[in-house]
């Protein structure tokens, strides 16, 4: 990983292995996430308003008989796409800055463990919440 590559931020990795799949994932998920996150932020700030967020607002959107499943699906897709994008992006930074192999493996292991539990926790509450 060249952290100081001039201009071209991230040339497409050669071959067809994990790094190429990772390169495509960041771009495809990034394009989808851009649309979803703009919607998410506009909704929470404009439509609801930060100071109007309460337990009942969140519970209401997940348990709504008409659109509850749609909201849970939206939140689940956002959760998974964003966190996997975040893990992979953080991995790029760790690989750029940690040159000692042992520390790099340690940092990446910690990264995967933390994000794994966060994804499980997020998905768990989306699937099991019942008011």
Partner 1 sequence: MSATNSPRGFLAKTISYKGGIGHWSWILHRLGGLGIAAFLILHILDIFMVGVSKEAFEALLFIYHAAIIRPFIWALLFGVFYHAFNGIRIIIQDFWPHMFKYQKQMATAVWIIVLVLVIPLIGIDIMNLLTHG
SS3 content of the chain, % helix, strand, coil (to 5): 75, 0, 25
CB 29 within 8 A of CB 84: yes
Residues sharing a CB contact under 8 Å with residue 122, sequence separation 6 or more, in sequence order: 79, 83
- Output the smallest distance, CB 93 to partner 1, in A: 6
- Output the smallest distance, CB 32 to partner 1, in A: 11
d(CA 131, CA 120): 19
Nearer to partner 1, 57 or 70 (CB): 57
**Residue ranges binding partner 1 (CB under 8 A):** 3-4, 6-7, 9-10, 12, 27, 30-31, 33-34, 37-38, 41-42, 45-46, 49-55, 58-59, 62, 79, 82-83, 86-87, 89-90, 93, 97, 99, 114-115, 118-119, 121-122, 124-125, 128-129
Nearer to partner 1, 18 or 55 (CB): 55
Residues sharing a CB contact under 8 Å with residue 131, sequence separation 6 or more, in sequence order: 59, 63
d(CA 76, CA 64): 16
- Output the smallest distance, CB 70 to partner 1, in A: 17
- Output the smallest distance, CB 66 to partner 1, in A: 20
């Amino acid at each position: 990983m060249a952290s100081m590559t001039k201009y071209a931020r991230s040339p497409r990795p050669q071959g067809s292995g994990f790094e190429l799949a990772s390169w495509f994932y960041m771009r495809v998920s990034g394009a989808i996430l851009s649309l979803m996150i703009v919607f998410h932020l506009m909704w929470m700030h404009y439509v609801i308003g930060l100071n109007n967020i309460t337990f009942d607002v969140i519970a209401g959107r997940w348990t709504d008989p008409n659109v509850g499943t749609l909201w849970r699906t939206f939140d689940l897709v956002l959760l998974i796409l964003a966190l996997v994008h975040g893990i992979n992006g953080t991995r790029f930074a760790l690989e750029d800055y940690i040159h000692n192999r042992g520390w790099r493996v340690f940092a990446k292991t910690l990264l995967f463990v933390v994000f794994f539990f966060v994804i499980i926790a997020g998905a768990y509450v989306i699937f099991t919440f019942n008011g």
